[in-house]
Amino acid sequence: MKQVIVEQFGGPEQLRLVELATPEPGQGQVRVRLSSIGMNHADLMARRGAYRLSSGEPPFTPGLEGGGVVDAVGPGVSDRAVGERVVLGPDVPRLGRPRQPGSGLSGAEGTYRSHYICDAQDTYPAPDNLPDEQLGCLWLGYLTAWGCLAWKQRLDRADGPRVVALPAASSGVALAAGQIVKCIDPAHTVIGLTSSPHKMEQLAAMAEARYDHLVVTTGTHGEPLPWHRDLKALTDGRGVDVFFDPVGAGAYLETEVRCLAQHGTVWVYGLLGRAEKVDLSPLIRKHAQVRGWALSELLDAGREAFEPGCGQILAAVAGGELKLRIAETFALDEVRHAHETMEKGAHVGKLVLVP
């Protein structure tokens, strides 16, 4: 088995690929030969030591999602078979789960590896039309968006069309969120906000980018643009009902608060921005709110809460309503290059490790 280990917090040079004995599945477990490990911004933060809640202390293995082919089943497993294509459940690689014997890790036992052992009941049969390299890319995008926008915000029960704005429009999560909103109800308006003027054309031409409108927030020389005007114009002055925002700070957040509609909500789910003072006073007259969102809230609520989301996502993938955009794939021994690529931020869509 090949496995990536972070021995110390730091740069991409801290990612080390090691060979270990391939473990055998125990009672009720399966071994999955991973064909797809979805990369996430959280992996970079974990490597740097900026997300200890998820990574724990080194040594640890990064990686929050994965999928592949069952290549061994343990005693007592009757509902999974060798050769079956599966997606690992969304709460499989989490800190606090029972540890794999002999892992030698003190922190997270993530999915950056060629083989993964888990309980058979923590795997989902994969839709036939989902390519092998995409089996490990579903949850951090689609379920993060579903959890916030369907489970918490209840866009599915909105008493009319809403305007939803998605910053970081080229990111894996925002692309997934745009599709989720359209799945909930195509009548909702989706506005993608990108900080990269050179990505506009690509996003406008991309079938997976379900944005009704695209707005660029930064000029070609990195200067902030007056994007509040675009949002006011696109909403006839009414404003945006829901921001689903991974920037969450400073002038960016302040502009969102300014652009909120009456009773609107800014959901902050990432830390891409730089912490600065924010004037929240417009919230008062708008009866509006800024709230935080993390996928862990849905996972902590248990299977009863997240299973409906997983079921809807798998069905929509099988039906072709949800379609992943893969920006680039990397072999496991290119993991350092993969992290450097993600750090540069020039990609559009999901970066994937393919062991």
Ligand X SMILES: NC(=O)c1ccc[n+]([C@@H]2O[C@H](COP(=O)([O-])OP(=O)(O)OC[C@H]3O[C@@H](n4cnc5c(N)ncnc54)[C@H](OP(=O)(O)O)[C@@H]3O)[C@@H](O)[C@H]2O)c1
Q: Are 61 and 4 in contact (CB under 8 A)?
A: yes
Q: Per CB under 6 A, does 69 bind ligand X? A: no
Among 165, 295, 313, 354, binds ligand X (CB under 6 A): 295
Peptide bond into 59 cis (omega under 30): yes
- Rounded to the nearest whole angstrom, what is the least distance from the CB of residue 141 to ligand X in the complex? 7
Nearest to 89 by CA among 254, 241, 314, 264: 314
- Rounded to the nearest whole angstrom, what is the least distance from the CB of residue 269 to ligand X in the complex? 4
* Closer residue to ligand X (CB): 30 or 146: 146
Quick one: DSSP state of residue 301?
T
Strands (E), the chain: 2-6, 15-19, 29-38, 67-73, 85-88, 115-119, 123-125, 163-167, 189-194, 213-216, 240-245, 260-268, 289-292, 326-330, 350-353
Q: Which of residues 195-214 bind ligand X (CB under 6 A)?
A: 195-196, 199
Q: Are 5 and 16 in contact (CB under 8 A)?
A: yes
Q: Per CB under 6 A, does 151 bind ligand X? A: no
* Closer residue to ligand X (CB): 31 or 199: 199
- Rounded to the nearest whole angstrom, what is the least distance from the CB of residue 173 to ligand X in the complex? 4
- Rounded to the nearest whole angstrom, what is the least distance from the CB of residue 225 to ligand X in the complex? 12
Q: Per CB under 6 A, does 294 bind ligand X? A: yes
* Closer residue to ligand X (CB): 224 or 308: 224
Stretch binding ligand X (CB under 6 A), from 54-62, 93-101, 122-130, 267-275: 267-275
- Please report, for residues 36, 140, 220, the alpha-carbon distance to residue 85 in angstroms, rounded to integers and kept in the order given: 11, 19, 44
- Rounded to the nearest whole angstrom, what is the least distance from the CB of residue 7 to ligand X in the complex? 23
Bin 159: left if φ > 0, else alpha if -120 < ψ < 50, else beta. Answer: alpha
Among 88, 168, 183, 253, binds ligand X (CB under 6 A): 168
Residue with the CB atom nearest ligand X in the bound state? 270
Q: Which of residues 211-250 bind ligand X (CB under 6 A)?
A: 246-247
Query: Is residue 31 helix, strand or coil?
Result: strand
Stretch binding ligand X (CB under 6 A), from 116-124, 268-276, 308-316, 317-325: 268-276
Q: Per CB under 6 A, does 342 bind ligand X? A: yes
Nearest to 312 by CA among 127, 109, 55, 38: 127
Stretch binding ligand X (CB under 6 A), from 2-10, 34-42, 103-111, 333-341: 34-42
Q: How far is CA 153 from the centre of its chain?
A: 18
Cβ contacts of 189 within 8 Å, gap of 6 or more = 161, 162, 163, 164, 212, 213, 234
Binding site for ligand X (CB under 6 A): 40-42, 140, 144, 168-173, 194-196, 199, 246-247, 269-273, 293-295, 342, 345
